[in-house]
Structure 1
Amino acid sequence: MLKYKDLVGVPDYVLKFSYYNSPLDLKNSNRVSLDHKFQLMFYSYIMEKLNMIVKEAYLYYIPLKRIVRIPYTKIGTT
């Protein structure tokens, strides 16, 4: 579980690479959804606020056997 102030998110996995982290969510859907991408950006934002370096996020669509990489850039410094 990721928690920053009143924001809470629970990605399926957090991948830990040598110098950054990436949230990964599994979806049981036959179509790529913008809502799913927004959900991953929300997780990435919380991780950034928790002082984690986030470069990208991933969605894995189980029925499609497809992974979608979503680049993430830092949102702000407030």
Structure 2
Amino acid sequence: MTSPGRPSSRRVRGHSGATRDREWRIERGVAIRAGFYIFDTHLFAGFVWLLYYPGEHAHKRPGNRRLSCPGDARRVIGA
């Protein structure tokens, strides 16, 4: 028999096992989620790197420049 303010030892034992299982599942879920976040971040960084790779290795010609205003177009064309 237990005193009025305390739960029985049987009830506490059963509850702690379920709590341990629940905590283990939560930890496992956090670890899996963190793994996906790390993997996805590296995948995204690799994609961004691939976007910049062709621009770094493009054959650039001296006359191939961006025009900032219409007046520059006349200068480049020779008008």
Settle same-fold status: TM greater than 0.5. no
TM-score (norm 1): 0.25
Ranked by relative contact order (alpha carbons within 8 Å, sequence separation 6 or more), the top structure is 1
Which structure is higher in strand share?
1
Q: Rg larger in 1 or in 2?
A: 2
TM-score (norm 2): 0.25
Which structure is higher in helix share?
2
